[in-house]
Chain A
Amino acid sequence: MGLLKRLLRMRETGLILIILALFVVMSFASPYFLTWVNMRAMAMAFAVEGIVVVGMTILLVSGGIDLSVGSVTALAMVIAGLLFLNGVDPWTASLISIAACTAIGAGMGFFVTRVGLHHFIVSLAVMVIARGACLLGTGGRPLGLFTLPPEFKFIGQGSIGVIPVVIVIFVAVVVTFDFMLRRTTIFRKVFYTGSNEKAAAYSGIRTKKVVFLTTTLCSALCGVAGIIYMARFGSAQPTFGIGMELNVIAAAVIGGASLSGGTGTIFGAILGAILLSVVSSSLALLDVSVYWQDIIRGSILLAAVSIDHYLNKRRG
């Protein structure tokens, strides 16, 4: 098969074309759109969430789903913030917080693989519990962390040359996990498990272990994202990330991940996130009411998935 033909058949190509088309239209519609400041703002808007998208995509490929990502990200901020306010060094506080999120993921993995509950229910419960913990720990008010040392804030606010550190971290995470998901034997097992769990078990794959690990990884990446948000905002916000799970799942699904598992790429999911972010930014620039934005985003999701379903059916 020719390279061009293969490129055209890839879902990523379609998304890139749509994003480019939006860029062209918007650059005419708003003079502000193609400015460095706006580009940077858009990139910052999805970069940290993009790290969560990576975790979610891998989890979706393995056949799972996680509704607790927003709450767990907020909890990461709150845990690290409280520790810092109680005199713990911010780096140590961050590590402890990421470890705590990893443990939450492992806990969900336990309930899914050992107790045998559905991902949806377990993560729904954890979503509520983690949010409650955030509010309990902070009394519902944001924690101002004004004394964070500058080298720590650098993670969220600094730049290397003209490139924000956040973007550097994001690109590193995406490239690493994209490569691993495509090429390594460990992540191939994730595809086998999500594609047909029974066939995977009949191929000697410990499918429960795989699902346990993908569940844990997703929460761990939420922890990482929470810490970056904290460094960026200089505060810990207990109500941060409400509704994040929908954005993240939408991005992954627009990027080609299937809720029934077995398909999806990190690159595609990130393009999905970029698309949603560009649309949001465009609507804001065009002075569309914020109340319209959710309606439009939801419709894009529905359209993307319907088109994909239709194309798949025709191919199959």
Chain B
Amino acid sequence: MADDLILQISNLSKAFGPVQALRGVDFELRRGEIHAIAGENGAGKSTLMNAVDGILRPDSGEIRFDGRPVDIASPAMAQRLGIGFVHQEIALCPDITVAENIFMAATNASPHLLMNYRDLERRAAAVLGQLGDIDPTSLARDLSISQQQLVEIAKALTLDCRVLILDEPTAALTEKEAQVLFGIMRRLAAQGISIIYISHRMVEIFDNCDRVTVLRDGQYITTRKIAETTPREIVNAMVGRVIETLYPEKQRPEERSAEVILAVENLSERRRFRNITFDVRKGEILGFAGLIGAGRSEIVKGICALEGEVTGEVRLKGRCLDRRHYKDSIAEGIVYLSEDRKGDGLFLEMSIASNVSALAVQQIASNLGVIDDRREQAQARGLGEQLNLKCGHVGQPVSTLSGGNQQKVAIAKMLSVKPQVIFLDEPTRGVDVGAKAEIHRILRELARSGVGIVVISSELPELIGVCDRVLVVREGQISGEVSGDSMTEENIMHLASVLERQQVAI
């Protein structure tokens, strides 16, 4: 059977400083199969794939490609071997055409001195034709997010690859676009190309893949044939315990309150969202679901006066707010936790204490504006204890912490101003399972103590597990609301893909 394997990984390990991202992972990929890799955030999926693509060098272990041991030193080398990788993040050059983007790698390797634009466009059109209606001569910046994702996929398809890695390719795609992609995947597999498919969505894995490998905390857990397993079994393997205990208890019926903390009415922004109306009630955790690019983050940032020229009304406990700048929102106790912790959530090279105090430095300073180091550190220690932050000293730079602990620092920063409403954008992205459960527990405790909590997440199981009510956003509008028994992945995906202003029975 061994010659049936195109890719064979054995005992692969990789550490980032003190964090062991992969521990002796094994993985086998057969020719012409669609193989899913499942695992929570931080389980090591991306690290493993980055090692296969030559972005990272493993510390130890062996990769065999087509039976021969290989040392993949760079993505260019991976490409020569025939490994194509569609990354989760879209990385197109915005100012050049779709065709040039698609053939960027080919141009890089091209022996010709001059660009042959007409040929590029013709070949790009041929590939794009399979995927959807995209003009190869338009600039990448003018495409929608889902079109950009399709271009990323087209880019990989033009490489004459034998192994294609797709990392969460459907996160920005509508149901229809996703179905087109699945069709292409099956056709490629029939031609003998092997596909590694990374996704959180069990439905997609079970509808389209042949086998699934589960990783957890950087370790190989199991590989199963899809036909011989169930979603529940896979999810349990991913989280390492029975799923019911993963999420904290939801709001009890007697805790339900009609008291509205935050009321948003008819919020619109010229290009990105319209007529957003909803309430955040006391004691509940409200979720925001939707495809990437649907406008969830933009709505929340609009409410916080972080960006955009927004019309409409925001009332906090019945009082209409005049918010010109995010600073005003913070003063009212409305705070936003960014989805991109490293990019715009934290000051990585600054100390934990300085990060925690950033929203309101005046709190730890004298009336004259002189910062009291001891008060700053005491504040960080106090909130750190409340959130179970694991760190040596609050003076150490945030960059030395693990993802989960960094996220706790970001949350401590929010809590430092004793907020009334917290908007959390992807609060557990890149966070290990243990810290994830802890963050969910903290959110529930905050909700119980009367803080309004709104969670945006692309992970449907998380929304379903944590929230009491979920609003679904599609193309800048709220397309529906689900709660109780109607809160299922199918219902949410349906609302996220189809624009119907209807409520799925509450």
Contacts and interface: CB of A to CB of B under 8 A. Distances in A.
A202 B300 CA distance: 12
Given A183-B370, A188-B354, A188-B361, A199 B346 contact: yes
A195 B349 contact: yes
B267 to A, nearest CB: 19
A184 B365 contact: yes
Contacts of A202: 306, 326, 336, 338, 344-345
B501 interface: no
B365 A196 contact: no
A204 B347 contact: no
A196 B347 contact: yes
A184 B371 contact: yes
Contacts of B348: 195-196
Contacts of A124: none
Interface string A187-204: 011011001101111111
Contacts of A196: 344, 346-348
B316 interface: no
Contact of A204 (B344, B359, B365): B359
B346 A189 contact: no
Contacts of B327: 204-206
Interface in B62-94: none
B359 A185 contact: no
B359 A206 contact: no
Interface in B305-333: 306, 325-327, 329-330
Contacts of B413: 203
Contact of A186 (B346, B360, B369): B369
A189 to B, nearest CB: 7
Contacts of A198: 343-344
B457 to A, nearest CB: 19
Contacts of B347: 191-192, 195-196, 199-200, 262
B322 to A, nearest CB: 15
B371 A188 contact: yes
A191 B329 CA distance: 22
A203 B371 contact: no
A262 B346 CA distance: 13
B144 interface: no
Contacts of B346: 196, 199
> Which of B343, B347, B365 has most chain A Cβ within 10 Å?
B347
> Which of A192, A196, A203 has most chain B Cβ within 10 Å?
A203
A184 B345 contact: no
A316 interface: yes
Contacts of B369: 184-186
A216 B366 CA distance: 26
A311 B83 CA distance: 36
A184 B364 CA distance: 10
A39 to B, nearest CB: 34
A186 B358 CA distance: 12
A199 B360 CA distance: 14
A306 B399 CA distance: 22
Contacts of B378: none
Contacts of A192: 347, 350, 354, 358
B345 A199 contact: yes
Interface residues of B, number: 29
A196 B306 CA distance: 16
Contact of B325 (A1, A189, A204, A263): A204
Interface in B144-190: none
Contacts of A183: 370-371
A204 B350 contact: no
A192 B361 CA distance: 11
B362 interface: yes
B396 to A, nearest CB: 10
Contacts, number: 73
A191 B370 CA distance: 15
A52 to B, nearest CB: 25
Nearest to B338: A202
Nearest to A189: B361
Contacts of A316: 399
A213 B176 CA distance: 51
A184 B372 CA distance: 9
B329 A204 contact: yes
Contacts of B306: 201-202
Contacts of B350: 191-192, 195, 262
A256 to B, nearest CB: 12
Interface string A219-249: 0000000000000000000000000000000
Interface string B370-399: 110000000000000000000001000001
B215 to A, nearest CB: 27
B370 A184 contact: yes
A282 to B, nearest CB: 34
Contacts of B361: 185, 188-189
> Which of A192, A202, A205 has most chain B Cβ within 10 Å?
A202
A201 B344 CA distance: 8
Contacts of A205: 327, 358
Interface in A152-189: 183-186, 188-189
A263 B399 CA distance: 15
A77 B354 CA distance: 41
Contacts of A204: 325-327, 329-330, 359-360
Contacts of A188: 354, 361, 371
Contacts of B338: 199, 202
B365 A263 contact: no
A188 B350 CA distance: 11
A9 to B, nearest CB: 12
A259 B308 CA distance: 30
A203 B329 CA distance: 10
A305 B329 CA distance: 41
> Which of B327, B336, B350 has most chain A Cβ within 10 Å?
B350
A3 to B, nearest CB: 14
A263 B350 CA distance: 9
A254 B319 CA distance: 53
A195 B326 CA distance: 19
Given A183-B371, A184-B370, A188-B354, A203 B349 contact: no
A189 B365 CA distance: 13
> Which of A185, A201, A262 has most chain B Cβ within 10 Å?
A185
A199 to B, nearest CB: 5
A188 B413 CA distance: 15
Contacts of B358: 192, 199-200, 203, 205
Interface string B25-49: 0000000000000000000000000
Given A183-B370, A192-B354, 11 more contacts: A1-B393, A185-B370, A185-B371, A188-B361, A195-B348, A196-B344, A196-B346, A198-B343, A198-B344, A199-B344, A201-B344
27 contacts: A184-B365, A184-B369, A185-B361, A185-B365, A185-B371, A188-B354, A191-B350, A191-B354, A192-B358, A195-B347, A196-B346, A196-B348, A199-B338, A199-B344, A199-B347, A199-B358, A200-B347, A200-B358, A201-B326, A202-B345, A203-B358, A203-B413, A204-B329, A204-B359, A204-B360, A205-B327, A262-B350
Interface of A: 1, 183-186, 188-189, 191-192, 195-196, 198-206, 262-263, 316
Interface of B: 306, 325-327, 329-330, 336, 338, 343-350, 354, 358-362, 365, 369-371, 393, 399, 413
